[in-house]
Structure 1
Amino acid sequence: MDDAVDVWIAPAGDDSRATAHALLLSLSRTLVTDPVLQHAANGRPEITGLAVSLSHSRSLVAVAARRTGSIGIDLEDVYPRSVSGLARRWFDAEELEWMAGDLHAFLRLWTAKEAVGKALGVGLRNSGLRRRVPFADGPVDSVPGLYVVRLPLEGAVLAVALDDPPPAIVVTEHHDTALRSTVRSRTSFPVVVRGN
């Protein structure tokens, strides 16, 4: 599908940034001829002819690409930690009530805010963490025309923001030679899972 969004996920390895760049280039080679990875002045990755985004955590990297529109992706590992201080600093009263101290709910909001900032090309600048995002998948009321989709992922929370709902989000999980064979979508967008 030419207008689908491709999301590739892989273990972070020893250097998660280098792994993310290599994975992004590999994905880009499936969509355009001879992609060249460059970075904008603000550090945003760019590949001519594609909208791209990347994110990395301690254990995973995730990259996204599409031929048209804009895209942002963010990934956070799920492991026990206190997030109440961050939440109180950056989230409004309705968000705090919704998350109710739950780490997974906090990460759903946090990754969505990061993904939206990346899709807009500004990251978290200009009050990015204060920007309202939907609690469930759907349109971002604070940024008309932008949508947030969360993809199910074991041990991590993954959010994708995009300006045009695609016909499908194709997720490819790279785990050496063994790949997960099923991912169930909790989104309104179809999610297709492929091996590498």
Structure 2
Amino acid sequence: MREPRPSSGYLLSVGDAVVDVWTAPAGDDSRATAHALLLSLARTLIGDPVLTHSELGRPEVAGLAVSISHSHSLVAVAARRTGVVGIDVEDVYPRDVSGLARRWFDPAELEWMDGDLLAFLQLWTAKEAVGKALGQGLRNSGLRRRMPLIDGPVESLPGFHVVRLPLEGAVLAVALDEPPVEIVLTEHHDTALRSTVRSRTSFPVVVRGN
């Protein structure tokens, strides 16, 4: 099976533009777990967050840009103080995605994917993440919006960028309305946190715990 192509290089900024991404096991109620995780993350940034939802069901926390996603096994949340953010996570397990790909992907995406499941999930999660960052999900032909084949700008949306984060057994994409900034990924494993710093040639993704 062909490996997805590596990310391209970026020089990134830090400070208030940092994006925090937290993941955790989904548990019995992935939606409730995601909301609890988002509130925990928001509390580290603004102290006393209040979680509400828009008419479209989008989670909102005053003072932050936030996004949530959940798969069968994982929940993922993102928050930042400036701009907008969207996140999507998908489990990696054997399945036939050829029909979905032929229906929604353009020829360049299909050629790059070449039947590879991980490549499909990289594109699919990117489309979902961009839709969430825009606040409209996959409405208005969101699945047909062409995504960068490697981390980088979304051609049809000036300023928007997509970044994929390293996870074991899952694919996770983050969409931002500006070039990638420092992204801090904290992986929760039940009550424990794995604390590791992984060097990347494309952008600084810091994997950490308390």
Hey, what does 1:10 align to over in structure 2? Answer: 24
1:126 and 2:140 correspond: yes
State how far apart, in whole Å, the 2-side matches of 1:78 and 1:42 are: 28
State how far apart, in whole Å, the 1-side matches of 2:162 and 2:122 are: 10
Superposed displacement of residue 92, structure 1: 1.1
Aligned residues: 196
State how far apart, in whole Å, the 2-side matches of 1:132 and 1:44 are: 23
**Does the 8 Å CA contact 1:112/1:148 hold for their aligned counterparts?**
yes
Aligned AA for 2:159? Answer: G
Hey, what does 2:90 align to over in structure 1? Answer: 76
**Does the 8 Å CA contact 1:152/1:186 hold for their aligned counterparts?**
no
Hey, what does 1:97 align to over in structure 2? Answer: 111
State how far apart, in whole Å, the 1-side matches of 2:159 and 2:188 are: 31
Superposed displacement of residue 89, structure 1: 0.8
State how far apart, in whole Å, the 1-side matches of 2:204 and 2:108 are: 29
Hey, what does 2:156 align to over in structure 1? Answer: 142
Cα distance per residue 1:128-164 (max 9 Å; x no partner): 0000110100111111100000001000000000012
Cα distance per residue 1:35-84 (max 9 Å; x no partner): 11100001110000000000000000000000010000000000000000
TM-score by length of 2: 0.89
1:167/1:99 CA distance change after superposition, 3 Å: closer
Q: Percent identity?
A: 82
Q: How well do the aligned residues superpose, as a CA RMSD in angstroms?
A: 1.4
1:184 and 2:198 correspond: yes
Superposed displacement of residue 182, structure 1: 3.0
Instruction: Classify the secondary structure of the residue corresponding to 1:76.
Output: strand
Instruction: Classify the secondary structure of the residue corresponding to 1:35.
Output: coil
1:34 and 2:48 correspond: yes
Superposed displacement of residue 183, structure 1: 5.7
**Higher RCO (Cα < 8 Å, 6 or more apart):** 2
State how far apart, in whole Å, the 1-side matches of 2:197 and 2:95 are: 26
- Structure 1 stretches of 5 or more lacking a match? none
Superposed displacement of residue 9, structure 1: 0.4
1:186/1:157 CA distance change after superposition, 3 Å: farther
**Counterpart among 178, 181, 184 of residue 170 in structure 1:** 184
- Between 1:159-168 and 1:16-25, the stretch displaced more is 159-168
Hey, what does 2:78 align to over in structure 1? Answer: 64
Instruction: Classify the secondary structure of the residue corresponding to 1:73.
Output: strand
Aligned AA for 1:88? Answer: R
